[in-house]
Amino acid sequence: MRQTRPLRAFSLLVGVTCLLIPHVTLACAVCFGDPGDPISKGINLAIITLLSVTGVVLGGFGAFFVYLAGRTRHTSRKQSGPPVSGGKIKSS
């Protein structure tokens, strides 16, 4: 319960700051400015690049986990030989 007080105070501080300094809360050049502006084009390319990198990294994690699942399945089939009778290993 005590941890919510600093969070509320921080939220209140951010809200008051946004009200007192409205130019901070204006939209970026992509949303607010000219779409043909070089800055807007650069920001759009930066957004596409960041989304692409994120997608590649997440895809790599997904592929790795699929690989691990397949390897586990293959290893468990390979190690499960014929069942031993009575669960005991016969010595020779």
Decide which of 8 and 55 is more confident.
55
pLDDT one-digit tens code per residue, 59-74: 999 999 999 999 888 8
DSSP state, residue 25: G
Whole-model pTM: value is 0.50
Q: 44-76 burial, b if ≥16 CB within 10 A, otherwise e?
A: eeeeeeeeeeeeeeeeeeeeeeeeeeeeeeeee
Q: 7-38 burial, b if ≥16 CB within 10 A, otherwise e?
A: eeeeeeeeeeeeeeeeeeeeeebbeeeeeeee
pLDDT one-digit tens code per residue, 21-62: 776 666 665 566 777 888 888 888 999 999 999 999 999 999
- Which residues, 6 or more positions from 28, have their beta carbon under 8 angstroms from its beta carbon? 43
